[in-house]
Amino acid sequence: MKNLILVAIITLVMAGCSKDDKVDSYNPYVGTEWTGVNNKVEVSLHFTKENGCCLKAGGLTLWYDYQIKNKIIYMQPEQYGGYNFKCTVSGNTMTVINEDTGKTTYILYKT
């Protein structure tokens, strides 16, 4: 009887795990750079390591941690003052969306 209860608990726990939260193990972005212009300000995003990237916009430089989930890049600022971004990639074009407003902040192109 205890074994049946244990199997039932494990089944419930496994059913509660969402595949949507799976972090992708393959990372094609390390070493890539993406650039664009926003309101006449040059913007660049450089993926420097497995989970870190540098966003430069004009004279501003911000470091971000990121995770890739279901082919979407989620960026969180390492220091206070940055926005959380959600990035989608289609070919050589990256759309960077501000997660707080839901609005597209940057359109960047792979260089």
pLDDT tens-digit profile of 44-60? Answer: 999 998 889 999 999 89
67 domain-assigned = yes
16 domain-assigned = no
State how many domains the chain has. Answer: 1
**Mean pLDDT (the chain, rounded):** 83
- In the chain, the percentage of residues whose pLDDT exceeds 70 is 77
72 domain-assigned = yes
Give the C-alpha separation, 53 to 76, whole Å: 10
46 domain-assigned = yes
82 domain-assigned = yes
13 domain-assigned = no
77 domain-assigned = yes
* Residue 33 identity: E
40 domain-assigned = yes
Q: Say whether pTM exceeds 0.85.
A: no
Q: What is the CATH number of the domain that holds 39?
A: 2.40.128.640
Element (H, E) at 94: strand 93-98
